Structure 1
Amino acid sequence: MKATLLKLALGFVAALTLAGAHALEVTDDRGVTVHLDKPPQRIVSLLPSLTETVCELGQCARLVGVDRYSNFPKSVQSLPQVGGGLDPSIEAIVALKPDVVLMATSSRAAQRLESLGLNVVALEPKSHADVRRVLDKVGQLLAVPDAARVWRVIEASMAAAAQSLPLAVRNTRVYFEVNRAPYAAGETSFIGETLTRLGAQNVVPAKLGSFPKLNPEFVVRANPDVIMVGDRNYAGMEGRPGWGGIRAVQRNNVCVFSVAQSDVLVRPGPRMADGARIMARCLQSILAKPEAAQ
């Protein structure tokens, strides 16, 4: 009898030890520490870059729901959509019974979800350094040990994109428009960081902020050599007052990105290296023009 009780006691201790080994805690970008008994198996993601991060870490199968803008990789397009990231359907999320909900810090849904007993981890990458940090955080949350390897691949690929460009890129002044208001990608944005990494010059200085709304006359005065813009925002650009005199417009040095390319370019996530390659190809095509040598 004593031997049986001893075995039961030892088994109970072993179970507690095993449970403790799988327990984890993650502090998100709000400074909130989330405690979990084990790595989450059912995840709802409300930010495309976080959805892509989960999948880049090889854990797409754990996703049970996403926001309406998460469309990569293709497999997530068949998952239930729970609305926008800022104002998702609380009822739809609860119905999916997630172990954790990943969202941006700017989302208004966190407190409501937490009041209903759901675990929320808010992470919002805005820079290259943030992408690396979020990869590590999500890797920690999902108990994926090789998140650092994923970052090394991104870093190496970005370096290769930069090395593919000639030295002449250093004299190339670029205007990257993210919205026709117009909002632009400044030097301090993650897009601006990529342009700097490629060796190009951004006509929107750091002092204006990451994604400033500009007076269109600012771009006329800046007179960029190259304009980068998504096709959703390109319509009517060349007809803006004074824009016909911009060097990039006169020389047709305007790279118009498809919707799919724009998704890659404007998401600070694991496809940043793909974005660098897209921008590098744009610059290569322009630098290869005969007039570029003049």
Structure 2
Amino acid sequence: MSLKKLHFITISLLTIICVITLIGCSTADAIEPAEPAPPIPAGTATVIQTTPKLPSPPKLPLPPATPSSPEAPSPTLMTISKPIIQTSKESVPIKLPVSNSITIVDSLGQKLSFNTVPKNIATISPSATEILYAAGGTAVIRDRASNYPQEVQTLPDVGSAYNPSIESLINIQPDLVIIEALTQARFIPVLKQTNLKVMAVKAETVDDITENILKIGKIIDKEPTARIEVSNILSRLSLAKTYNSGSVLLLISDHDKNLYAARPESYTGLIATEVGLINKAAGLPDSGPYPGFATMSPETILMANPDFIVTITPAPKPAPRLSEIIKQIPPFARLKAIQSENVIEADVNLFLQAPGPRVIEAVEFLKDRIKR
């Protein structure tokens, strides 16, 4: 073997040894971190301390914070449930409770208590109907003579105010029946036998009218409306008062052509008093078919000799008007009222048949006519 070959073999072996040594060193370097893994417990002490702090975010488990979201829905459910209950109550047509139980004394001295607001109300006289509507109420049935306000003309009726159909009232079963105290008190016993609540109103004076408007306003929970109406009536009456020193007779006739004059105590007499006229029928006794009126003979009328004569004709047109008839009675030609053409034909509803809130219209009408 030549020296060159030996030299080459020697170099090759040295090279291989060096490579093996290098590989061994690199392997040792690679394995060392794996072997120091046991020491890592010491090192992991720091790593473990950081790792426990990583679990502390699990403490944060903000996902579990969603338990608070179950609490948020609960107010929502409660707020939803309340309106549903209220809506269902309002949609059912039931009587609304009055804030407190109400007790009133009517025009006949009856004590009436109300724990609920009466909704279905029957009125069987023009006075009752007009007082109810002035207070802000409405009726479900009326008498035939009730024609104001206009809307009541479409309501079913119980017939005449003097002889209403009790059967019609029983069939409707109203919460309250309002009657006129002076002419309809006789109906109370039979209506009470059918368990109907009956209230009587009257309208002989301004106080009667305003007090009954306020009472009904309280019963039907419309007190502000009733107070406004009363205030309007009183202020207009105050303006209408003329303090005229003239005298008056307010006359009506029956089928037999007898004449009757309204006394100051009657509703018709009240109209003249509010204007400021002196009623020549004062002091005369109540007589004849019309409450509050006195029978007048031609001689009594001639003796009274008023400045103004107001006539009321109950019969509808084309029946002749009383204002024209009295002018044709020969002795009456001497009367001052006829000579000065101060004979005034008045509306039967305003002056006789419907005592009530429209007293102001009657007073204003009379004030206007006596000024001409």
Indicate the TM-score class for this superposition, using the shorter chain for normalisation.
Answer: 0.7 to 0.9
Q: Deviations over 1:56-108 (max 9, x none)?
A: 12222xx1101111010110011011022232101111122211100023322
CA contact (8 A) 2:210 2:230 kept: yes
* Deviates most, 72-81 or 237-246: 237-246
Partner residue of 1:225 out of 302, 307, 317: 307
Q: Structure 1 residue 58 and structure 2 residue 132: aligned? A: no
Distance (whole Å) between structure 2 residues aligned to residue 20 and residue 263 of structure 1:
34
Write out aligned runs for 1:96-245 (5 A): 96-105=172-181, 106-107=183-184, 108-146=186-224, 147-162=226-241, 165=242, 169-170=244-245, 172-180=246-254, 181-209=258-286, 210-231=292-313, 232=315, 234=322, 236-240=325-329, 242-245=331-334
How many residue pairs get aligned? The number is: 259
Code of the residue aligned with 1:219 in structure 2: it is I
Other-structure match for 1:270: 357
- Structure with higher Rg: it is 2
TM-fit CA distance, 1:20:
6.9
Other-structure match for 1:289: none
Structure 2 stretches of 5 or more lacking a match? 1-95, 287-291, 316-320
TM-score by length of 2: 0.64
Distance (whole Å) between structure 2 residues aligned to residue 208 and residue 127 of structure 1:
19
Distance (whole Å) between structure 1 residues aligned to residue 155 and residue 129 of structure 2:
11
TM-score by length of 1: 0.80
SS in 2 for 1:275: helix
TM-fit CA distance, 1:19:
4.8
CA contact (8 A) 1:161 1:277 kept: yes
Q: Deviations over 1:188-222 (max 9, x none)?
A: 22333332332222111145454212223211111
TM-fit CA distance, 1:244:
1.9
Q: Percent identity?
A: 26
CA contact (8 A) 2:263 2:282 kept: yes
Code of the residue aligned with 1:249 in structure 2: it is I
Distance (whole Å) between structure 2 residues aligned to residue 74 and residue 113 of structure 1:
27
Distance (whole Å) between structure 1 residues aligned to residue 283 and residue 263 of structure 2:
6
Structure 1 stretches of 5 or more lacking a match? 1-17, 286-294
Distance (whole Å) between structure 1 residues aligned to residue 120 and residue 190 of structure 2:
19
Give me the CA root mean square deviation.
2.2
CA contact (8 A) 1:188 1:206 kept: no
Write out aligned runs for 1:250-265 (5 A): 250-257=339-346, 261-265=347-351
Code of the residue aligned with 2:165 in structure 1: it is S
Q: 1:114 to 1:189 in 2, by over 3 A?
A: same
Q: 1:83 to 1:57 in 2, by over 3 A?
A: same
Q: 1:269 to 1:192 in 2, by over 3 A?
A: same
SS in 1 for 2:363: helix
SS in 1 for 2:104: strand
SS in 2 for 1:153: helix
Code of the residue aligned with 1:196 in structure 2: it is T
Q: 1:196 to 1:40 in 2, by over 3 A?
A: same
Distance (whole Å) between structure 2 residues aligned to residue 90 and residue 42 of structure 1:
16
Q: Structure 1 residue 93 and structure 2 residue 202: aligned? A: no
Other-structure match for 2:369: 282
Q: 1:219 to 1:190 in 2, by over 3 A?
A: same
Q: Structure with the greater relative contact order (CA < 8 A, sep ≥ 6): 1 or 2?
A: 1
SS in 1 for 2:113: strand
CA contact (8 A) 1:182 1:214 kept: yes
SS in 1 for 2:196: coil
Code of the residue aligned with 1:41 in structure 2: it is K
